[in-house]
Every structure is written in C-alpha cells, then in structure tokens.
Amino acid sequence: MRIILPNNAKKILDTMHQAGYEAYVVGGCVRDAMLGREPGDWDITTNAVPADIKKLFGRTIDTGIEHGTVTVMFGKEGYEVTTYRVDGKYEDNRHPSEVTFTKSLVEDMKRRDFTINAMAYNEEEGLIDKFGGIEDLEQKVIRCVGEPRERFSEDALRIMRAIRFAAQLGYSIEDETKAAIKELAPTLEKISAERIQVELVKLLVSDHPDMIRLAYELGITKVILPEFDECMKTEQNNVHHAFSVGEHIIQSMLNIRPDKVLRLTMLLHDIGKPQVLSVDDKGTSHFYGHQITSVEVARDVFRRLKFDRKTMDQVCNLIRYHDERFPAKESNVRRAINRVGAEDFPLLMEVREADTLAQSDYQRDDKLKLIEDTKKIYEEIIARKDCVTLSDLKVNGKDLIEKGITPGKQIGSVLNAMLMDVLDNPEHNSREYLLEPERLRDKYLGMGEKEDNCEKN
C-alpha cells in the first residue's frame, strides 16, 4: 500500500526521521488518500514535542501549543504537526479538561473518532491500521474507535461528524455506533452553534444530502433543526405533491447541485409550511403564504446557527421568490429580474426546477416548460443587456435635479416610474425619451404617485 505524499509533507517526515523522531501523516488525509480523494490538508503526528518540532523547521506557527500542535510553513502552505497525545477527562461533552502527551502512536490513535480516521502512514512502515480502518473503508461503514457510547459522551460533536462522513462518503453507520448516536443525540445541545453549522453545511453540500433523513431518525435534527422534524411530520395532501414536506425537501436537495446557498435554500424553502397548513372541506392541504413564513423561520434558523449575514440574506431572497410564477413574457422576466436581483435570478431558476422535480408529476411538463421558457428569455435579456435595474437606466437623480425636480423623495419615485416603463419597453431607455419635458411632467411625475404597480401577468 503506497500513498503519494506531497513533497513538503515528505520533507517534514524525512527531517523528523533523520533527527530520530517518529512521524506519520495521519487521520483524514490517510483516509482520503486510500479512497483516491484529494485530501484537504495533510496532518502529521509525531512523538516529538512542540519545542523539538520548532527547532527542526525554519518557519513555524504556534497553532495550539497547549494541544501539542505546531504549524510548519512552506511558503503559504502550512502543515499541522501534532505531538502524540491522549485527551484527559472530558467536561460537558465538549472539550477535554487537559491533554497529555504520550510516547505511543497507538495511544494517539485511540483518541480519534472513527476507525477510518485512525490510520497513520509513512514510507518506511507503510500503513498503520490498528482498529480495522481499512476493513471499514472496504465495508463502507462509520464505526467508532472503542466504545461508541463513551466516545460520543466525551465529545458530542462526533455525532455530527459521524453523520456528515456518512453523507460525504455514502457510508452507513455501524449498528452500535448508530445506537449510541440515538441515545446521546440530545447532548448535541451542548455543542456550539458554529461547530454544528460547519458540520451541517458539509452534510448538505455532500453527495448524500438525503442523509439528513437518518439525522432525523436518530434524533439529531430534533436538537439542531427541530423545524425540519415538523416538516417530516407534515403530509401534503394535494395534487402537486407526492411526499410529506420533509421528504419533498430531501428530494429537492437531491435535485440541485452541491452549492452551499442552493442546498440551504432547498433545505429551508418550505420550512414554514407546517405553520400555515390548512385543510379544506375536501381534505386538501393548503399552505397559503408559506414563502413568507418560510423566510421568517429560515431567519430564526440562520440566527440560531450563527450563519453569516450574506448567506442568510441570499438564501432568504431565494426562498421568498421560490414559488412565484408568471407567464414567460419578456417584460415579466425583466420585472422579475429587477425584483429578485440579477445575481440571484439564475439561481432562482435552478431552485424552481429542483422544487418542481421533487413534486408529483401533476402538470410537471408544463411547470418545467415554463421554467425553460423563462430561462431562455432571461438569457436573451442578459445577452442584450436590457435595462433591469435603476443603475442601468440612462437617466440618474442628478439629471432630474437639473431638470428642476426638487431633490428628495420625488426623485426616487420618478426614477422608479421610468424604470417600470423601461422594463416594459426597453426602447424607452434613452435620455431623449425619458427627459423629454412633457413626458417627464405628465407621465413620470404623474405616474410617480402610484409607483410599484408590478402587474404579474
């Protein structure tokens, strides 16, 4: 078994060996290399203590000296070199109260979470696999090193890691490991929102975002995303749907590319549906106004999980418009681009397609054709550089002030009236047309009163 190491990782191992220390690449990089996946980073484990490591290399950063980690730098590239360690007693299912260094590689491997993450390698000794990591890679299972209940009690974040590795690799979770997750999922409440967020996003953008179903079955979403549990319990008894809200969400995630904003949008696009469910005399479910409720619920989720503002705003914008349908006419599409934003509009088309494909096949062809036609028109509009926002308008506030309009609110409403006209009639976007005195007075100043008359059809 041979792993091709990056030159700098090899240099580190060689330097340490020549100085008489043990050193191996370890953990995720060994797992990924065995799987033929490109490792994110190459971590190194050694019996040398930080002071020794620092003496051997020119440029190092004290990344986590107290945990035994020094980062060795080559240009901009850094390699984390960590002393063999055992973690002391864990407090609050979160962090060890202390770490102690050990002389034994095997002791260091024992503290690692899963068998597939507990392998080490160097060129002299080949692969060191004391816990059946290779076998579990072959069997495609996530299995704790040691007693699962104990390992999850030490650190509940491992529960999230288990499910996200299962999602990234398409693996199943070994039975005892799974049973321990189910038992200890409630302890996830002690894990910080930031760390939950990181693992959740990795799960969502993986090849198997549907692993969130297992997260639901094991009681994980109950703690980190209880809104999703409500969706799993909400049936959709109407012609457009074939699944519960939750199952529809899962299917829609499978229908969209693995992009963070898009997967989060699908996860949350219908998240407010349980709150607005109504059932009519015929027993048909309706979810009136669910777009707006979903935006509100999504905002709660984003704040709770401490997402950044930009992600939250973009996802919420897509959620807000995800169900808006209009005939595929040029003026409608320009108006929609204006409402949704030029950057988000093409994403919205992807969202609508993924959403449609996760519905029943009732009117599916028509729904998809409408999206296709809209996309085609969108592309023509962009290629022609039609005006779709105020900044594309050939006239600005300064021009209007020069024409004697009082600075202030009126400027905004005149520009808006002009934009509404130009969205319907792109040929009107010229200074001569828009600033023609009579038209300016009668049409735009007059029309400014009843701005935003977005007709939908």
Q: Which does 113 bind (CB under 5 to 8 A by kind): ligand ATP, Mg ion, none?
A: ligand ATP
The one-character DSSP state at 444 is I
Quote the CA–CA distance of 328 and 340 in Å, as a whole number.
16
Quote the CA–CA distance of 268 and 229 in Å, as a whole number: 12
Whose Cβ is closer to ligand ATP: residue 142's or residue 418's?
Answer: 142
CA distance 452 to 68: 61
Strands 43-46 and 77-83, bridge-based pairing: parallel
27 binds ligand ATP (CB under 6 A): yes
Region binding Mg ion by CB under 5 A among candidate stretches 26-34, 241-249, 360-368, 412-420: 26-34
Q: 155 is in the binding site of which of Mg ion, ligand ATP, none (Cβ under 5 to 8 A by kind)?
A: ligand ATP
Amino acid letter for position 18 = Q
DSSP-derived 3-state class of residue 87: strand
Do residues 222 and 229 make contact, with C-beta atoms less than 8 angstroms apart?
yes
CB of 26 to ligand ATP, least distance (A): 7
Nearer to ligand ATP, 45 or 265 (CB): 45
Helix runs in 225-329, H state only: 226-232, 245-254, 260-268, 273-276, 290-304, 309-321
In the region spanning residues 152 to 171, those forming contacts with ligand ATP, defined by CB under 6 A, are 155, 157-158
Instruction: Report the alpha-carbon distance of residue 355 to residue 319 in Å, rounded.
Output: 11
**From the list Mg ion, ligand ATP, none, which binds 143 (C-beta under 5 to 8 Å, kind-based)?**
none
Using the contact rule CB under 5 A, the part of the chain among 24-32, 180-188, 296-304, 448-456 near Mg ion is 24-32
CB-nearer residue toward ligand ATP: 144 or 387? 144
Pick between residue 28 and residue 148 the one whose CB is nearest to Mg ion.
28
Burial of 36 (0-12, 13-18, 19+ CB in 10 A): exposed
Cβ proximity of 360 and 382 under 8 Å: no
Q: How far apart are alpha carbons 55 and 61 in whole angstroms?
A: 12
Determine contact, residues 229/216, Cβ cutoff 8 Å: yes
Give the range of 21-29, 68-76, 105-113, 435-443 binding Mg ion by CB under 5 A. 21-29
Contact code string over 34-73 relative to ligand ATP, x by CB under 6 A: ------x--x------------------------------
Contact 169, 133 (CB under 8 A): no
68 binds, among ligand ATP, Mg ion, none (CB under 5 to 8 A by kind): none
Q: Which of 5, 28, 216, 322 binds ligand ATP (CB under 6 A)?
A: 28
Counting residues that bind Mg ion (by CB under 5 A) gives 1
**Nearest approach, Cβ of residue 151 and ligand ATP (Å):** 8
Q: Among residues 27 and 246, whose Cβ is nearest to ligand ATP? A: 27
- Give the span between the Cα atoms of 151 and 293, in whole angstroms: 39
- Could you tell me the smallest distance in angstroms from the CB atom of residue 208 to ligand ATP? 15
* Class of residue 345 by CB neighbours under 10 A (exposed 0-12, middle 13-18, buried 19+): buried
- Of the pair 112, 320, the CB lying nearest ligand ATP is at 112
Q: Which part of the chain contacts ligand ATP (CB under 6 A), choosing from 68-76, 113-121, 279-287, 348-356?
A: 113-121
* Contact between residue 128 and residue 121 where contact means Cβ atoms under 8 Å apart: yes
Indicate the residue among 30 and 231 with the shorter CB distance to ligand ATP. 30
# of chain residues touching ligand ATP (CB under 6 A): 11
Shortest separation between residue 345's beta carbon and Mg ion, angstroms: 36
Report the C-alpha gap between 389 and 381 in whole angstroms: 12
Residues 6+ away with beta carbon under 8 Å from 26: 43, 44, 45, 108, 109, 119, 120, 121
In Å, what is the CA distance from 276 to each residue of 122, 269, 297, 373?
Answer: 58, 14, 12, 31
Choose the one of Mg ion, ligand ATP, none that binds residue 404, judging by a C-beta under 5 to 8 angstroms depending on kind: none
- Of the residues 12, 13, 28, 348, which one makes contact with Mg ion according to CB under 5 A: 28
Whole-number minimum distance, CB 128 to ligand ATP, in Å?
Answer: 13
Determine the residue with CB nearest ligand ATP: 28
Residues in the chain: 457
> Which residue number places its CB atom closest to Mg ion?
28
Q: Decide if residue 117 touches ligand ATP (CB under 6 A).
A: yes
The amino acid at residue 449 is E
Q: Which does 199 bind (CB under 5 to 8 A by kind): ligand ATP, Mg ion, none?
A: none
Which of the choices ligand ATP, Mg ion, none does residue 58 contact, using the CB cut-off of 5 to 8 A by kind? none
- Find the distance separating the first CA and the last CA of the chain, reported in whole Å: 65
- Residue 238, classed as helix, strand or coil, is coil
Which residues are near ligand ATP by CB under 6 A? 27-28, 40, 43, 112-113, 117-118, 155, 157-158
Which residues are near Mg ion by CB under 5 A? 28
